[in-house]
Amino acid sequence: MFGLFAIMLLAVFLAFFWQERPKSETEIKALIFTEQIGKLWDVAKKAMNEKKPLQAEKALLTILRFDEKNATAYNRLGILYAKEKQYKEAVECFEIAQSLDMTANSLHNTGLIYLETGDYEKSSIAFRQAIELEAEVPSRYIALAKAEEKLGKTENAIQSLEMAYKLNKSLPVLKHILQLYEDSGDAEMAKKTKLRLDRATEAEAARVAPAKPLRRPARPKPPLSRRKMS
């Protein structure tokens, strides 16, 4: 009983008399740093949304001046440069981001830049690496198919598109597969794909068609004698 009373007394003492330990100078600096970085991120995001690339670039570069190993900042800066068609700078940023923290998104972004600049071999490699890290995203396979198509590897492109279609039943993907078979002169596969496309199109139309309203049954007409009376 005395032991229980002592524990309760200690709990009351801790609740009312325990003072929070003062923060050290290092902890205070860390809090200020985190707050400043957060404000810079807010500025960068707002500037990108408002299509103010110079302001966004300045904020991102300032973040990197404080935190030179911030892979996310390099990735965002790469996206910014890509939108401004500064492809060399974009690739450099994406490659640095990959060296710090290799993610499927940074690899995919790099692949898109290589695709845009005509370096299809590097583009294909980047997309394949992105798929290894994140294999359930249809856009990865669609992008890879474009690179493979540019390299003249039609069979590989079709395989990639089939994977994309398996993950997401998209009519444009089926149309692209059909186009590749037609361009390659494979009449048999083009015919089969055309049938698949027709069935998928019909199913999609049925899915999005508005439901027909239920028709109310016609009210029976009253007997002739009653109609005369009224």
The mean pLDDT of 218-226, rounded to a whole number, is 60
pLDDT digits (tens, 9 = 90+) for 108-132: 999 999 999 999 999 999 999 999 9
Of the segments 31-35, 37-41, 190-194, which one has the largest average pLDDT value?
190-194
pLDDT digits (tens, 9 = 90+) for 78-113: 999 999 999 999 999 999 998 998 899 989 999 999
pTM beyond 0.85: the answer is no
Q: Position 174: which residue type?
A: L
Assign 45 to helix, strand or coil: helix
Q: Which residues contact 32 (CB under 8 A, 6 or more apart)?
A: none
The Cα 153–Cα 147 span in angstroms is 9
Helices (H), 50-170: 53-66, 71-83, 87-100, 104-117, 120-133, 138-150, 154-167
Please tell me the least confidently modeled range out of 1-15, 68-82, 172-186: 1-15
Q: How many CB atoms lie within 10 A of CB 181?
A: 20
The Cα 91–Cα 219 span in angstroms is 73
Decide which of 24 and 84 is more confident.
84
